[in-house]
């Protein structure tokens, strides 16, 4: 057909023009005084400890590595890059492995690369010079393996906008986080406690090795945050003044050009704010890619608030209560009734998770750190109903990159070991690590006496059974998508159902399996059983309904 021919010609011309344009896009590294820092060696002190000057990386067998960096921005970046070179290389590899699972087409990845490069052509203009210098220092030690994606500085800079770009392209539901705080009569010692799940998943390999980073910059304040190799942006962190920040995404409008990545805005908050009003001023100062909620807790103010940021407004939500809960929608008077926010609430499970979190908080009454962890690990739905393991409507979706607890007044933080939030929570005392007397060669970085033990779910091996179930469903789904033959005997089907009997997705996939084998009545039965379960998002429910409608219209089923 002629229209196909013209379309191909048009797309070819556009692609060539875009390629030529992209060849001219070069994000120049910032001006830096390299001094002697590039010549400073990394010394292997012990099997688990490396040092570059007075900075260090301590690794362990628990999936958490601890990094201390100090100095001027470029200096910090270089020492970070040198010490975490292996970890950062592994993370970049795992990230690309994950990208291939959601975008298997090499051609699509190629065009996506061009789109992102063009979209972010002015990205560096929206990032503070100090952070660009630090990112440049890190990028000098990035892996050569992925130079086909772009030069190292351009690449690492863009990774800091990965969350924002994914959000921009299609409001991806890769991030469905839950955070809350309790204080005063709701805690045993009366002080603030904050808990949060970062329910971002780029695969188990990506989540396996985490970094707890302790920063002592030459300007601003000392702070710590949870991260991975190559990342200087902050998703969860606390500074020396007991100010904490965590990020929760919200339904967002689509920006037309690059803006400041939200993880770098929160990094600026940790490094330069002592209280809520200063945090607000910093967040308001920057234009962001996407709508985001910044959960801010302050020891100085003795309270927690949510600073909500859309593409054109900034508002503070203060519950004026001894508890504050945040999921993935706005709550302030200024933003709660916006069209996008209402749309997000109606389409997703943010409100459901908020109701469940409130339900659990009110049932516990008085909290210590262990109680906070119990809430973060909870897998049930409202009224303790079983909604299936891995359900996005649960507080614990069994996908989180990290879970963290803060006690701002005491400068204490707890970070979960892999997997998810089911393993131990390792405790860190910022007062200890940042004290002049701390000696990493002789002392443990973490505080073993404050460790929170792993869950029964983890100790029993139940999480491994869940992982097998998840991988089995993914394998069946992939084969069905590729029109490959799938053969399941009755025993295999029973095993899938028994391992996660209340999960809507199990029934949905089995419905597709029976449909592919032309067993339409069985398929219809499984689709209807899926509808009887808690389905987290409207789009998921509509998928099931569309399958049922298609079956009924094309085949003789009841």
Does residue 38 lie in a domain region?
Answer: no
Q: State the DSSP string of 431-450.
A: HHHTSTT--TTTS-SB-GGG
Query: Does the residue 11 lie in any domain?
Result: no
> What are the pLDDT digits (tens) for 83-109?
999 999 999 998 888 877 766 666 666
* Domain shared by 210 and 244, yes or no: yes
Q: At a CB cut-off of 8 Å and minimum separation 6, what does 295 contact?
A: 179, 181, 194, 196, 244, 245, 246, 247, 248, 304, 306, 324, 326
- The CATH number of residue 426's host domain is 3.60.60.30
Q: What pLDDT sits at residue 22?
A: 41
Does one domain contain both 174 and 206?
yes
Q: According to the model, what pLDDT value does residue 114 have? A: 62
Same-domain check for residues 466 and 445: no
User: Within a domain: residue 23?
Assistant: no
Question: Is 341 in the same domain as 305?
Answer: yes
13 lies in some domain: no
Task: Check: CB of residue 195 under 8 Å from CB of residue 357.
Answer: no
Q: Count of domains in the chain?
A: 2
Per-residue tokens: 9: 């010609």
Extract the tokens encoding 191: 């002080």
Residue ending a domain, among 402, 437, 459, is 459
Question: Model confidence at 5, in pLDDT bands (50, 70, 90)?
Answer: very low
Q: Are residues 221 and 329 in the same domain?
A: yes
* Domain's final residue, options 417, 440, 459: 459
Cα(194)–Cα(291) distance, integer angstroms = 22
Peptide bond into 378 cis (omega under 30): no
Residue at 171 is within a domain: yes
* Per-position b or e across 2-24, b if 16+ CB within 10 A of its CB: eeeeeeeeeeeeeeeeeeeebee
Considering the domain architecture, whether residues 69 and 163 belong to the same structural domain is answered as yes
Clarify whether residues 527 and 413 are in a common domain: no
pLDDT of 276-332, one tens digit each? 999 999 999 999 988 999 999 999 999 999 999 998 899 999 999 999 999 999 999
Confidence of residue 11 (pLDDT cuts 50, 70, 90): very low
Q: What angle do CA 444, 449, 453 make, to 5 degrees?
A: 110
Please state at what angle helix 106-119 crosses helix 162-170, rounded to 10 degrees: 110
Residues 152 and 205 in one domain: yes
> Would you say 499 and 462 are in contact if contact means Cβ atoms under 8 Å apart?
no
CA distance 529 to 524: 9
Q: Are 137 and 73 in contact (CB under 8 A)?
A: yes
Pair type for strands 223-227 and 236-239: antiparallel
Q: 510 with 402, same domain?
A: no
| Residues 406-417 pLDDT 10s | 999 999 999 999
User: Within this chain, do residues 173 and 295 fall inside the same structural domain, yes or no?
Assistant: yes
Query: DSSP string of 192-257?
Result: -EEEEEE-B-S-HHHHHSEEEEEEEESSS--EEEEE-TT--S-SEEEETTSEEEEEEE------SS
Residue ending a domain, choose from 425, 442, 459? 459
Task: Tell me: do 449 and 473 sit in the same domain.
Answer: no
């Amino acid at each position: 057909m002629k229209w196909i021919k013209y379309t191909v010609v048009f797309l070819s011309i556009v692609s060539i023009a875009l390629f030529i344009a992209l060849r001219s896009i070069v994000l120049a590294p910032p001006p830096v005084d390299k001094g002697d820092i590039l010549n400073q060696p990394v010394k292997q002190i012990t099997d688990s400890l490396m040092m570059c000057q007075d900075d260090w990386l301590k690794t362990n067998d628990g999936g958490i590595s601890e990094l201390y960096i100090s100095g001027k921005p470029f200096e910090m970046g270089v020492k970070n890059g040198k010490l975490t070179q292996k970890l950062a290389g592994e993370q970049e590899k795992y990230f690309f492995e994950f990208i291939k699972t959601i975008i298997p087409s090499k051609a699509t990845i190629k065009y996506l690369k061009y789109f992102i490069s063009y979209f972010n052509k002015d990205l560096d203009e929206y990032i503070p010079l100090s952070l660009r210098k630090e990112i440049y220092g890190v990028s000098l030690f990035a892996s050569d393996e992925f130079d086909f994606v772009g030069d190292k500085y351009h690449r690492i800079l863009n990774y800091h906008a990965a969350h924002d770009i994914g959000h921009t392209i299609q409001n991806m539901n890769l991030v469905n986080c839950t955070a809350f705080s309790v204080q005063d009569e709701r805690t045993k010692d009366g002080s603030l406690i904050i808990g949060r799940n970062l329910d971002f998943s780029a695969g188990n390999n990506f989540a396996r090795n985490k970094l707890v980073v302790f920063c002592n910059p030459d300007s601003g304040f000392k702070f710590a945050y949870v991260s991975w190799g190559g990342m200087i942006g902050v998703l969860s962190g606390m500074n020396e003044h007991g100010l904490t920040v965590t990020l929760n995404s919200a339904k967002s409008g689509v920006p037309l050009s690059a803006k400041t990545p939200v993880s770098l805005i929160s990094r600026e908050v940790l490094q330069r704010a002592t209280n809520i009003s200063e945090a607000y001023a910093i967040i308001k100062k920057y234009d962001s890619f996407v709508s985001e909620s910044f959960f801010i807790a302050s020891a100085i103010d003795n309270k927690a608030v949510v600073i909500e940021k859309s593409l054109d407004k900034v508002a503070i939500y203060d519950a004026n209560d001894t508890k504050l809960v945040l999921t993935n929608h706005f709550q302030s008077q200024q933003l709660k009734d916006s069209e996008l926010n209402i749309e997000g609430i109606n389409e997703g499970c943010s409100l459901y998770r908020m109701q469940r979190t409130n339900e659990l908080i009110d049932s516990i009454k008085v909290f210590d750190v262990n109680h906070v962890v119990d809430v973060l690990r909870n897998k049930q739905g409202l009224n303790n109903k079983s909604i299936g393991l891995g359900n996005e409507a649960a507080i614990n979706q069994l996908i989180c990159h990290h879970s963290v607890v803060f006690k701002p007044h005491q400068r204490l933080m707890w970070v979960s070991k892999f997997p998810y939030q089911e393993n131990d929570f390792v405790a860190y005392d910022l007062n200890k690590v940042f004290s002049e007397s701390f000696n990493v060669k002789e002392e443990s970085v973490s505080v073993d006496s404050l460790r929170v033990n792993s869950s029964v779910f983890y100790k029993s091996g139940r999480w491994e059974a869940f992982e097998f179930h998840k991988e089995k469903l993914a394998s069946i789904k992939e084969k069905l998508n590729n029109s490959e033959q799938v053969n399941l005997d009755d025993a295999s089907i029973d095993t899938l159902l028994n391992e996660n009997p209340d999960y809507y997705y199990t029934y949905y996939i089995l419905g597709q399996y029976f449909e592919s084998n032309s067993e339409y009545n069985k398929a219809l039965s499984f689709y209807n059983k899926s509808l009887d379960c808690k389905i987290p998002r409207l789009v998921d429910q509509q998928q099931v309904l569309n399958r049922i409608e298609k079956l009924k219209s094309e085949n003789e089923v009841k």
